[in-house]
Amino acid sequence: MDFSAISSVVQTVGRLLTQEVTSLMGVKDQVEDLQKELEWIQSFLKEADARKVDDEVVRTSINEIRELAYDAEDVIETLALKVAPRRKGGFSNVIKRFACILNEGGLLCQTKCEIQKITARITQLTRRLQTYDVKQPRDGAGSSSSNQRRELRRPYPHIVDDNVVGLHDDIKKLVSILVDDESNCKVVSICGMGGLGKTTLAKKIYRHSQVKGHFNHFAWVYVSQQFQKIRVWKDILSSLQIGNTADRDEELAEKLHNFLKDNKCLVILDDIWSIEAWDSLKPAFPVAMNTNSKFLLTSRNKEIISHADRRGYLYELQGLKDGESWELFQKIAFSQAHSTELGKDMVNSCRGLPLAIIVLGGILATKSSIHEWQIVRKNAKSYLKKGKGAQQIEHVLALSYDDLPPYLRPCFLYLSQFPEDFQIPAETLIQLWVAEGIVSSTEDEGNGEVMEDVAEGFLDELVERCMVQVRERDATFKVRTCHMHDLMRDLCLSIAKQENFLSIINDSSLSPSNTRAVRRIAVHHHIHVQRIKSSIPLRSILFFSHPFDVDLESCLRDDDDDLRWFACLVCVILKWQRSWNYMFGNFKLLRVLSFEEGGEGYSGFKLSSAIGNLIHIRFLNLCGIQFNWPKIPSSLGNLRCLQTLDLRISSQADDGVMNVPNIIWKLEQLRHLYLPQSMTDETKLKLHTLTNILTLIDFNTGNCFVADLSKFTKLRKLGILGPFNIDDFKEELDKNLPIIASDCLRSLSIWNDEGIDSKVLAHLLSSCVNLCELTLRVKIEKLPDFHHFSSSIAYVHLTECMLVEDPMPTLEKLPNLREWEVEEGAMPALRYLEIYGCKKLKMLPDGLRFITTLQELKIRSMPKEFKDKMVQGREDFYKVQHIPSIIFYNIYNV
């Protein structure tokens, strides 16, 4: 059951009860009564969930409870946000109070009435639920201790790896076909039902050292059921690192076709659904020609292969054998001796389906007693009896959802908003969970734990349960990006729709006005915002595609090119301006508004000052937007609830420089701030009030006060841009004061084209006592002495530093950094290595063969001679043959 909505409003109400805003005209009494009712409902849900109460009335009541909670939070928070700012002291505020007293009285009266209506609805619902005689739980019942939760959230780095068993012979066979230049087979297809591991097998082949040594260029693209032909072609061109200036489909297809024809490429088309999909894509693929390029397809439809290439090779993936199934299960569930019989019984019920085994193992990995295993076995058998074949997987996945603790269910359902195969940034996902109140707002100041830590733990739990797949981890093994298996996403979408959790707009022909009154909308394809019904009390809109339709047909009829261009521009500006005003005027309860980078890009308009109406908003992402008007409206300062503000935007005017007014200091709740990379020097931003800030990116020393860095005691991630003048740090250097006051800083990046004084850099690094990641893209000539570095540093990225002195005397003394001179036993945790543009490097170190943890080696901008040494049979092959993935980019002939 989803408790997140009720938990959020209970905490909001509790917080506001401590403020003067609810103390007048009897409103406080109403709010206190409402809080008690909501707490009872919350207790009921916890008890019902603990007792596995599964009644139709209870299930259908969940949506009603969620809506009641949302309505209550909207009403009370609106009052707080509109009245509280007027109650500050000072003569000028007293004058304003007299002017606003009538409006305020009306607002309080309206609030009182609204609360009474909500309380009456809750009372009616309570009577209905009490017929089930579920009593309020005892203190502490129904919730785990913080220590237990932390143990459940313990990350398991092994989850990063693909769990593969029983495929070694198949990999060998498919690799031999792909690297056989004498074969006429251009298309190899891996077919099978969902969940059998087609993509996993394709990845192993793609990363195979023999394949990497054979082909010169590689591309991997996810096609999926809903795809755009142009996007697939562009993704392939991007993977092949081919510049794209083509405007028309035909030019794009011809460019890709010619490159594939003339070069030795391997293109993976993952998850292609139909013959029609292949037919739309094939004009860019020289399948019928004499070329050394080859194509590997994964599909559920084996008819595609004969249609794509009559000489093609079809591999039908089969389920695992009993022994292989048990081996895979043990990798996930860590089976104990006493649970072997139970485990094998459940595994046999999975009929050799890897996804079902992995998900079942993920469930059992969270269970510590034989009694809990017995309960899962009983439930698993019940679910598996409901279907055969593909349906069995669906029912095992359904079991994995039902086994989730209540606090994880909304986190899981939230993932349904992202498009198929979307690479989800963990940092963004965590911020969204926090902004929507899905994660508890209780913060433990004693141990420094904040909401983001709790949310990160929730993501780790979903990974441990194999419900979310990790694509990339950072240097400290935290999840950087993740995604969902398409079958798991189907389940997520199905439940989200059933529970009215959100609505997804997939096609411009779908009218969102026909959807139910959902609180969240995700736009995956073009749609005009004015088609979204304004009466829907939306809390969240995520755009993954262009949100505004513009009919330019009438503008294009003029014969004069200049007039036609000007008319188009005016039409675009007016159309988008109306759209902005409509959105900001009709969806004033929004908590989240995001224009994701996965979209097609949004350009050529002015951000409306009406954005100041969104007083409830917590998460505002404008990343990637290009404005023709280079100024952010000052009304942005009205958004006092903002937690995340992403202004990584640019202007089409001048040279992309943005004008940001000095209003960000008003946003005292900000936790994550991303500034534009280019700002005018008209205003210098004051940021000293942002005492809750955790992330600060693109902090420009020319547009911000360096002294403000000492105010951010909770800061964890900092990105600094712009010139470093020693005068800016004179006081800190003279008095030996820390430039950065936060002991929590884990990641620091410095990007500066003009260089940095070595004293400043040394003093800056000395302030970062717990730093784990350091990125320097700045001219420094030499690194500071090792004692200026945090002993916790595990990752250092140096680029364009123009080093004159050898950095190794410093780097070799950092105890947690992985060294380059490799001896046996060195760098025992190294997983990723990239060699980029090292022109004087002649061979790989011999000790590389001892690093068994290494999963990926990238060789970029290196001579072909260097690459050829790693081919099987050559002198460096034995050093890298154990590495699953070896990737070459921009290899050149000397």
Regarding predicted confidence, which is higher, 880 or 194? 880
Return the pLDDT at 556. Answer: 43
Banded pLDDT at 670 (limits 50, 70, 90): very high
Residue 590 has pLDDT above 70, yes or no: yes
Residue 676 has pLDDT above 70, yes or no: yes
| φ, ψ at 632 (rounded to 5°) | -80, 130
Return the pLDDT at 546. Answer: 59
DSSP result, 107-153 = HHHHHHHHHHHHHHHHHHHHHHHHTT--PPPPTTTT---HHHHHHHT
Judged by DSSP in three states, 461 sits in helix
Q: What is the CATH number of domain 168-316?
A: 3.40.50.300
Residue 337 has pLDDT above 70, yes or no: no
In the chain, ranges of CATH 3.40.50.300 domains: 168-316
How far is residue 778's CA from residue 702's CA, in Å, rounded to a whole number? 16
Regarding predicted confidence, which is higher, 159 or 815? 815
Residue 687 has pLDDT above 60, yes or no: yes
Return the pLDDT at 591. Answer: 92
| Rounded to 5°, angle at Cα 300 from 298 and 303 | 90
The model's pLDDT over 131-154, given as tens digits with 9 standing for 90+, comes to 655 444 444 333 333 334 333 333
H-only helix segments in 131-284: 146-152, 168-178, 198-206, 209-214, 229-239, 249-262, 275-281
Percent of the chain at pLDDT > 90 equals 15
Q: Which of 809, 808, 860 is nearest to 834 (CA)?
A: 860
Q: Looking at mean pLDDT, say which of 326-340, 413-427, 558-572 comes out highest.
A: 413-427
How far is residue 563's CA from residue 583's CA, in Å, rounded to a whole number? 30
Banded pLDDT at 363 (limits 50, 70, 90): confident
> For residue 269, what is the enclosing H or E element?
strand 265-270
CATH T-level assignment (fold) for domain 502-678: 3.80.10
Banded pLDDT at 747 (limits 50, 70, 90): very high
Residue 487 has pLDDT above 70, yes or no: yes
Quick one: tokens of 742? 């936060």
Rg (CA), the chain: 29
H-only helix segments in 520-600: 561-586
Mean pLDDT on 492-520: 71
The model's pLDDT over 521-580, given as tens digits with 9 standing for 90+, comes to 888 876 656 556 666 788 888 888 655 544 444 444 444 555 554 455 455 555 556 667
Mean pLDDT on 297-323: 82
Residue 324 has pLDDT above 50, yes or no: yes
Share the mean pLDDT of the chain.
78
Residue 236 has pLDDT above 70, yes or no: yes
The model's pLDDT over 777-831, given as tens digits with 9 standing for 90+, comes to 988 888 999 899 998 888 888 888 888 888 878 887 888 775 755 666 767 777 8
Return the pLDDT at 847. Answer: 81
The model's pLDDT over 549-560, given as tens digits with 9 standing for 90+, comes to 444 444 444 445
The model's pLDDT over 53-67, given as tens digits with 9 standing for 90+, comes to 556 666 667 777 778
684-817: CATH class: alpha beta
In the chain, ranges of CATH 3.80.10.10 domains: 502-678, 684-817
Q: Which amino acid is at 206?
A: Y
Q: Which of 223, 214, 219 is nearest to 242 (CA)?
A: 219
Q: Which of 125-134, 607-616, 679-688, 791-800 shows the lowest per-residue confidence on average (mean pLDDT)?
A: 125-134
Return the pLDDT at 459. Answer: 95
Return the pLDDT at 464. Answer: 82
How far is residue 691's CA from residue 699's CA, in Å, rounded to a whole number? 15
